[in-house]
Structure 1
Amino acid sequence: MPRTRTLQDEQLLEMVLALIHDEGPDAASFGAVAKVSGLSGSTLVQRFGTKAAMLRAALMHAWDGLDAETAKLAASSEKTPGGAVALLTGLSQDYGEDAAAYAQGLLVLREDFRDPLLRARGAAWAKALTEALAECLSAAPDPATSARLMLSQWQGSLLWWGFTAEGRAADYVERELRLFLGVLDLKALV
């Protein structure tokens, strides 16, 4: 008879993600995860096989969460340029005023780029997010291109906010995206 799991996969993957975000992906060894989870290293090896597989599982779990949050925000945002700003601002909330947390997120992004499955997951998310933004930017001459440019502006504004740590990330992003929409001549629609 198989033993009952003391931690469900989702709980364990959340612990791995917390460790990754606190100390970086390289810190997520079987020993470190065993320490925070209370499971033995051999149990972790049985579940995941390798450290790389454990890291991939945790990051795929994170993508699941981001996909769900994106879908929720896309469904609740008005289909206007202001709704596009609200969607991207909502996706920026987690950083608060903590530029160091954003920097840790960039280390995680490095892992997504390195792994073909994680990279494909990111590409699928970008496609879904572009489509959601294009719905909000339907008044633009080319909604799909405007959406892609807005995504670039969003990511760039997060990067520049990381250097200045000027207030809350979401407030900085909102201000920058409204300036962007003004340049696209969609400001009146915000």
Structure 2
Amino acid sequence: MPRPKTLPDSDVLEAALKLIHTDGPEALTFAALAKASGLSAATLVQRFGSKDELKRRALHAAWDHLDARTARLGATLPRTPEGAIAMLVALSADYGGIDAYAEGLLVLREDFRDPVLRARGAAWKAALAAALDARFACEPSAPSGIGLMMASQWQGSLLWWAFEPDTDVTTAVEDGLRRFVAALTAPPADRLSGGDAPRPASRQRRA
């Protein structure tokens, strides 16, 4: 099969991301990408210059995708607590199964190493928290900063699911988020364990 004469950078970077997510960041080489994209290694070197630059641009493309997906969900889902849960469940579907999630942690390591990519993550956190906050604006019992709390709960749910991936990730995340929202938006007297407020001491049964 003849090699394509040209291919948009977006398609090349998409192929690079697939290599990274499938086999890890170190698997991204010009030779491997040439095989995956159909372009010659020489053409790829001419376009991207170095392996580090190729990886950097691929990781920025991944953040572009995530930013765009988050914005789309924020624009289309209802501004209600149910909409907040639906947003995070939808984002969870992108993690795939346990093997894909584990490989994704290697990609996250690359983000942590680069200050520019870390800044992309911090900006996404702020945007996601704001989108979640907006979905609790009409909930008087919702605490201030619930968006970031919920995003943190979501990431924790993903981590704990990874240790016991007995069900699909979206089911695990949705269950955890529903219990979290119920606990944080319940009246103060109902937030105690079991949802029951203690009886006055004079009415408690003596031992």
TM-score (norm 2): 0.83
Match of 1:183 in 2: 183
Q: Which structure has more RCO (C-alpha within 8 Å, separation ≥ 6)?
A: 1
Q: State the match for 1:73 in structure 2.
A: 73
Mapped contact 2:34–2:44 kept (Cα < 8 A) = yes
Cα deviation digits, residues 54-91 of structure 1 (max 9, x gap): 01111111111111110111111111111110110010
Give, as a single letter, the amino acid of the residue that structure 2 aligns with 1:114.
Answer: R
Q: State the distance in 2 between where 1:141 and 1:165 align.
A: 30
Following TM superposition, where does structure 1 have runs of at least 4 consecutive aligned residues deviating by more than 6 angstroms?
none
CA distance in 2, matches of 1:180, 1:14: 35
2:113 aligns with 114
**1:144-186: CA deviations, max 9, x gaps?**
x211111110001011111111221111101000111121035
C-alpha separation in 1, matches of 2:50 and 2:33: 13
The Cα of 1:141 is off from its aligned counterpart by 4.5
Relative to structure 2, which stretch is displaced further, 170-179 or 37-46? 37-46
Partner-residue secondary structure (3-state), 1:184: helix
| AA partner of residue 171 (structure 1) | T
Tell me the residue number matched to 1:21. 21
Q: Distance in 2 between matches of 1:154 and 1:71?
A: 18
How many equivalent pairs are there?
182
Distance 1:71 1:11 in 2: 22
Q: SS of the residue aligned with 1:137? A: coil
1:133 matches 2:149:
no
Q: Are 1:169 and 2:169 counterparts?
A: yes
One-letter identity of the residue aligned with 2:46 = Q
**In the alignment, is the contact (CA less than 8 A) between 1:95 and 1:168 conserved in 2?**
no
Provide the C-alpha distance between the structure 1 equivalents of 2:19 and 2:26, rounded to a whole number of angstroms.
10
More helix by share: 1
CA offsets per residue over residues 73-115 of structure 1, 9 Å max, x none? 111111111111011001011234x111011111111111111
Secondary structure (helix, strand or coil) at the match of 1:166 reads coil
The separation in 2 between residues aligned to 1:112 and 1:74, in whole angstroms, is 24
* Compared CA separation, residues 186 and 12, structure 1 to 2 (3 A): farther
Q: TM-score w.r.t. structure 1 length?
A: 0.90
Percent identity, aligned pairs only, is 53
Whether the aligned pair in 2 keeps the contact of 1:81 and 1:186 (CA below 8 Å) is no
Structure 1 counterpart of 2:192: none
Q: What pairs up with 1:19-98 in 2 under 5 angstroms?
A: 19-96=19-96, 98=97
- Output the aligned Cα RMSD: 1.7
Gaps spanning 5+ residues in structure 2: where?
188-207
Question: What is the identity, as a one-letter code, of the residue corresponding to 2:111?
Answer: D
Counting only pairs closer than 5 Å after superposition, residues 120-159 of structure 1 correspond to structure 2 as 120-138=119-137, 139=139, 140-143=141-144, 145-159=145-159
